[in-house]
Amino acid sequence: MEKLDLDMQSGNKAPLLSIWMVTYNQELYIEEAIESVMMQKTNFNYKLYIGEDLSNDKTREICIKLKEKYSSRIELFLNEINVGGTQNALRIYKHCFNSGTKYVALLEGDDYWTDPYKLQKQVDFLEANPDYVLSFHKIKILKPNGEFVEDFITKVPENYESQETLARLGNYIHTPSVVFRNIIKEFPPEFSLTPIGDYFMYMLLSEHGKLKYLEEEMAVYREGVGIWSAKTEYFRNLKTAQTHALIVSAMSKFPLTTKILNTRISNFIKRFKNEISPSDLSLLNTCKAVEEEILFTLLRDKATIINNSTIDAYTSKQLIAIVFKRIKKRLWN
């Protein structure tokens, strides 16, 4: 199939694909990220939507310069106040969705694409396979010392295509590798609270079709440059468990997914029982199903710390606080 030169793209025709990019304080990387989009060769129109979240370095200046260079291919949104990663991402997704685009690609401002035919390959697959909702691919990791290495962060499992596997094993999909069908008209309210938006979105998308992994290496992920990388193991696991709890709340009509994610939440509580605080525990209490799982986890094998009359007298939310306090005081120390 012949690939059109980018300069031949019509600025008036609605794009077949939109690229969703958010950026904040990424002056060292943002230009390479944007240029890797602009080098894409396709036989369809695409447009890059950038949300610049009031950086305090030169990120905004670089984005404006490149918007002037590629005026018909970039929509640049300059936030007047810093709204944070999740809200910035939601705003840009709404612009992508409202553009009438059929597909959306993800690329954060500190990663970049390496194959000029990446978008074409992924769209070709999705066009030919309507039962698939998302395509992702192999990536290279760039370490802080400048070394390129094979992906050691994720491992794509067997039977990776299903929602069940994604729920059971967690996120094995790198953000800069993703192209998906633009079918989420509106995110559930829980999405605005999630610490891990990409995984939440993949779970929502997996309601509508299968996931496809391409073995080709077409992007670079920078290790250790994001805020997430600097956090402690407990913090990362807490935010993962919080995301699981929010997904359970949003996807309650999927009992198998609820069961799998509740098990992962329970395992988190048991693993970090000496570190978790009541306020952290409250972050997980997103709905009745998770609430009951938390209470069951706290009571498991320790039923003698609370009697039946106490159980009857309180709501499960109140019981969680009572049981947690007694366990911390009498059994876990």
pLDDT digits (tens, 9 = 90+) for 119-174: 999 999 999 999 999 999 999 999 999 999 999 999 999 999 999 999 999 999 99
Between CA 71 and CA 92 the distance in angstroms is: 18
pLDDT, position 308 = 47
- CB burial of residue 324 (10 Å; 0-12, 13-18, 19+): buried
- Token pair for residue 214? 């391409």
Which domains are present in the chain? 6-229 (3.90.550.10), 233-331 (no CATH)
Confidence of residue 287 (pLDDT cuts 50, 70, 90): very high
Q: How far is CA 242 from CA 246, 248, 269, 315, in A?
A: 6, 10, 11, 22
Q: What is the mean pLDDT of the chain?
A: 88
Task: List the beta bridge partners of residue 138.
Answer: 217
**Statement: residue 236 has pLDDT above 90:** yes
**Statement: residue 305 has pLDDT above 50:** no
Confidence of residue 298 (pLDDT cuts 50, 70, 90): confident
Between CA 232 and CA 127 the distance in angstroms is: 41
Between CA 113 and CA 159 the distance in angstroms is: 26
- CB burial of residue 15 (10 Å; 0-12, 13-18, 19+): buried
Q: How far is CA 176 from CA 6, 100, 109, 191, 219, in A?
A: 21, 22, 10, 20, 6
